[in-house]
Structure 1
Amino acid sequence: MNLNLIKLQIVELLHKHRKITTVAEELGLKQPTVTYHLKNLEQQLGEKLFESRMDKMILTESGKAFLHYAVKINALAAEAERVVKEFNNAGRGTLKIGASYVPATYILPQILGQFGEQHPGTTISLSVKPSPVIKEMLVNHEIDLGILSTESFYVPTLHSQSLCEDELVLVFAPTHEFAAQTRLSPSEIASAHFILHDMESSTRQLTNKWFERSGVTPRAHILLDSLEAIKQSLMGGRHVSFISRLAVEDEVARGKLMMRTIPDYNFQRHIFYSYNRDRHYSPLIGLFIDLIRTIRI
């Protein structure tokens, strides 16, 4: 069976754009050529991968299963081409990094600047996504290296190592009623006006676990998907939230926010670096990891 790369690219792009005309434009092909490759692939597989609905091409269940592998193969092919080209460009290359919000905002800026000075021929791209998304991007070979804040995890294809602990703390304004208390109970915290993080974030997942294990639920809460928006809201004095210690150290030092240890908090979250064991471990990845391990966090 001849599953050439153009057919796999068509499947991935057609799922992305939903229209054959758009796929043809992106690949520099004529529309009948794209249609021919798709029909030929479906004949080879003996399964229909797409069906037309309201002028849009939608994956069938068989198509969804095939797409999973097409995405991985396309990513590996792109990586192989990039790695080979880097051998012809001494001192140059591209490093694709994915990071969750806390390390992307409070750790990586210093490291990216320093790495750029040491290796001026290198192009670095940074994708900022929630930790679960970064893991998926690593598995699918979409990035070279992930820097993520999360609980310990095990994925067979990923190598991961902790850089430092990323502790969650209870945060509020100096004008909040909690400011006068040194010890707080779970029920007192649950009675406060709580700000919750987006459901995809590891902070929200740990917050939910703490509430569940403590046997309490927040009495009133609002939902925000931006850490900076949460911190600004906390400064208003009415709300509290669980936030990474790394993310609020500056505001606490300047007296704009206060933090307390979360009672009965038995979870461990760390900043990890992670890469796919099956991905080419280029010198650039090694150099970046060497640098990030020397930074005092």
Structure 2
Amino acid sequence: MNIIRLRIIELMAKYGKVTAVAEVLGLKQPTVTFHMKKMEQEFGLQLFESRYGRTILTEAGNSLLHYAVKINSLAQEAGRVVKEYEALDCGSLRIGASYVPGTYVLPQALTDFSQNHPKVSLSLTVKPAPVIQELLQKHEIDIGLFSAETCLDSTLVSEVLCEDELVVIFAPAHELSAGLLVDAGQLGKYPLILHGQESNTRQMTEIWAKSQDVEFRRHMEIDSLEAIKQVVALGSGISIVSRLAVANEIRNGSLHCYPLNGVKRLVYVAINADRHRSALVNRFIEDLRILAPRLSTAVY
């Protein structure tokens, strides 16, 4: 089984047309058909069938697809890693991050790295932390950053970059700005703007509220941190967010905040445990080790 045939399996599942697969691979249509027939002869099973003008994978073909995707991804990664060793000024890095590090840590890191290594191609994917970990496991990204209380995934090699804590945010004109908060229970009397269900911040907020026996007045649910900050700044309730996420607003005075009794999480950087650490990966992580703690401590 060669790589070209595994690529044909993956591309046929995606496009369902021999002509499209041939075009992507830069092969002639009869060549693709030849490889398809050779695979079926090799396995002694039908891997492809035609339906309504499309070529689809049989059940046996779909079982092979699972491994073809993995092998193709590893083969592509191997090619990138080898090229990265030619010099630090060429190659590519695919970076994934959950929302807070992706929005408030990586822009500066990407800018600095791009200025120092202008010929390196950088890409950033921002998804929830569980998705970033899954992309790392599948070798679909090279480096992942995410906020979490702990990282226990044995398939990843991870390290802590910095701490982040949750804070209550409110408008400058809100009565909490006068320092009237006595205990956590009093937060329950203010309308609360919640994050979406998939948010790690939302999950930590609910766990904290349960531990403190706090019942919030749920006012809104907004699946955008930037929108939450703007709504709170206009005086429509309070919210609980990452301290890193409101650094600029706290500094310019458009929002005020109150620490949530030391409720903290960690910002991790991680790679797949099976991935060889190239010079580019090492350099980017070294830069993050310097930058992330500086951003974290500069919030107030």
TM-score, normalised via structure 2 length: 0.80
Determine the C-alpha separation between the residues in 1 that align with 2:219 and 2:16. Answer: 38
What SS does structure 1 have at the residue aligned with 2:260? coil
Deviating more after overlay: 14-23 vs 45-54: 45-54
Asked if the contact 2:49/2:58 (under 8 Å) is kept, the reply is: yes
Q: Which residue of 1 aligns with 2:140?
A: 142
The answer to whether the aligner puts 1:280 opposite 2:276 as a matched pair is yes
Identify unmatched segments of 5+ residues in structure 1: none
- Cα shift at 1:23: 4.5
- Cα shift at 1:160: 0.7
Quick one: which amino acid aligns to residue 184 of structure 2? S
Q: 1:206 aligns with which of 184, 204, 207?
A: 204
- Cα shift at 1:70: 3.0
- Cα shift at 1:37: 5.5
Asked if the contact 2:89/2:117 (under 8 Å) is kept, the reply is: yes
- Cα shift at 1:210: 2.4
Q: Which residue of 1 aligns with 2:190?
A: 192
Asked if the contact 2:170/2:238 (under 8 Å) is kept, the reply is: yes
- Aligned length in residues: 292
Asked if the contact 1:176/1:238 (under 8 Å) is kept, the reply is: no
Quick one: which amino acid aligns to residue 182 of structure 1? L
Measured against aligned partners, the alpha-carbon deviations of 1:70-115 in whole angstroms (never above 9, x if no partner) come to 3322211101122233345663221221122211222222222222
Q: Which residue of 2 aligns with 1:289?
A: 285
Asked if the contact 2:6/2:72 (under 8 Å) is kept, the reply is: yes
Q: Which residue of 1 aligns with 2:298?
A: none
Deviating more after overlay: 287-296 vs 57-66: 57-66
- Cα shift at 1:253: 2.1
Query: Matched residues, percent identical?
Result: 50
Q: Which residue of 2 aligns with 1:83?
A: 81
For the structure 1 residues 105 and 6, does the alpha-carbon distance in structure 2 shift closer, same or farther, using more than 3 Å as the test? same
Deviating more after overlay: 252-261 vs 15-24: 15-24
Determine the C-alpha separation between the residues in 2 that align with 1:42 and 1:210. Answer: 57
Quick one: which amino acid aligns to residue 288 of structure 1? F
Determine the C-alpha separation between the residues in 1 that align with 2:43 and 2:182. Answer: 64
Quick one: which amino acid aligns to residue 107 of structure 2? P
- Cα shift at 1:34: 5.7
Deviating more after overlay: 249-258 vs 210-219: 210-219
Determine the C-alpha separation between the residues in 2 that align with 1:274 and 1:112. Answer: 16
Asked if the contact 2:168/2:259 (under 8 Å) is kept, the reply is: yes
- Cα shift at 1:64: 6.6
Asked if the contact 1:182/1:260 (under 8 Å) is kept, the reply is: no
Q: Which residue of 2 aligns with 1:183?
A: 182
Deviating more after overlay: 220-229 vs 35-44: 35-44
Quick one: which amino acid aligns to residue 239 of structure 2? S
Identify unmatched segments of 5+ residues in structure 2: 296-300
Deviating more after overlay: 40-49 vs 196-205: 40-49
Quick one: which amino acid aligns to residue 234 of structure 2? G
Asked if the contact 1:193/1:218 (under 8 Å) is kept, the reply is: yes
Measured against aligned partners, the alpha-carbon deviations of 1:11-68 in whole angstroms (never above 9, x if no partner) come to 4445555666654543445677667756765776688878989888888887776544
| Structure (1 or 2) with the larger CA radius of gyration | 2
Determine the C-alpha separation between the residues in 2 that align with 1:48 and 1:189. Answer: 64
- Cα shift at 1:195: 2.1
